[in-house]
Amino acid sequence: MEITNSGLKFEGNWHEIVLFAHVLAHFLKDTAPHRESVEEYEEWMPEEDEDEEDMIEKTADEACLDHYQVEDDFNGVHDELRDAEHKLKDSINDIAHGESPTKDLSEAAKDIEILVAAESIISLRKLERSIYKHIMLKFNPYYFDTEDFSVNLKKTREDRYALSINISDDELRKKVQERFSS
C-alpha cells in the first residue's frame, strides 16, 4: 500500500483487492461525513465472486443517469397515448357542450410530457450505459465517485490490480491515511 497526495493506493491480486476494499468500507463507515457515500461504495466495490465484467457492469450502472420520478409516473407509451387521446376527445366534447376544454387539454399535454420525458431519460441512460461499457471502460479504470471520495480500480498486469482512493476533504484523507499507515 502506498500513501498518495490524494489518498491511498493499494496493489494486489483480486483476493487482496477485495479484502482491502472491505476493510476500507468498514473504516469509512465510521469516518466519512455522508453515510450514503459509503453505502453506495459498498454496492460498487469488488467482491470475491465477481470479475472484471461484473465491475464493468457496476461501473456503467453507477456512471449513468439517476432514476427520476417521471419514470415512476410513466405507464408505458401505449397507455400514455391512450390517456392523452381520451382527454383530447373529452376536450372536443367540452367545446361541443359550451364548456372550456382547458382542463382536458392540459391533462392531455401532461400525459404527452410524461411520455416524452420518461422515454428520453430511458433512451439516454441506455446510450450512456453502452458508451461507458463498450468505450470508456475499455480505456479507463473502473471508478466510483461520491462527494466524499472517489475510487479507481484497474488491472496492472495479468493477475494484479491497483485500487486507489482519492479523498478531497483534508480531514477525512488524513484519518484514512493514518489508519492505513499504521
pLDDT in tens, 61-117: 888 878 889 999 999 999 999 999 999 999 999 999 999 999 999 999 999 999 999
Q: What is the mean pLDDT of residues 45-58?
A: 92
Residues 74 and 55 placed together within one structural domain of the fold: no
Model confidence at 53: pLDDT above 90: no
Mean of per-residue pLDDT scores for the chain:
92
The three grid cell numbers given for residue 99, joined into one nine-digit string: 364548456
Query: Can you give the pLDDT at residue 7?
Result: 95
Per-residue pLDDT band at 134 (split at 50, 70, 90): confident
Whether 165 is in a domain gets the answer yes
Residues 154 and 117 placed together within one structural domain of the fold: no
In which element (H, E) is residue 174 found? helix 170-181
Type of residue numbered 107: E
Whether 48 is in a domain gets the answer yes
CA–CA distance, 90 with 92 (Å, rounded to integer): 5
Type of residue numbered 158: E
SS3 state of residue 62: helix
Whether 139 is in a domain gets the answer no
CA–CA distance, 1 with 153 (Å, rounded to integer): 14
CA dihedral 130, 134, 135, 138 (to 10 degrees): 140
Residues 39 and 81 placed together within one structural domain of the fold: no
DSSP 8-state symbol, 135: I
Residues 60 and 80 placed together within one structural domain of the fold: no
Over residues 137-154, the pLDDT tens digits come to 777 788 899 889 999 999
CA–CA distance, 154 with 133 (Å, rounded to integer): 15
Domain ranges, residue 17: 2-64+146-181
Query: Can you give the pLDDT at residue 181?
Result: 85
Residues 20 and 52 placed together within one structural domain of the fold: yes
Query: Can you give the pLDDT at residue 152?
Result: 93
Name the domain count of the chain: 2
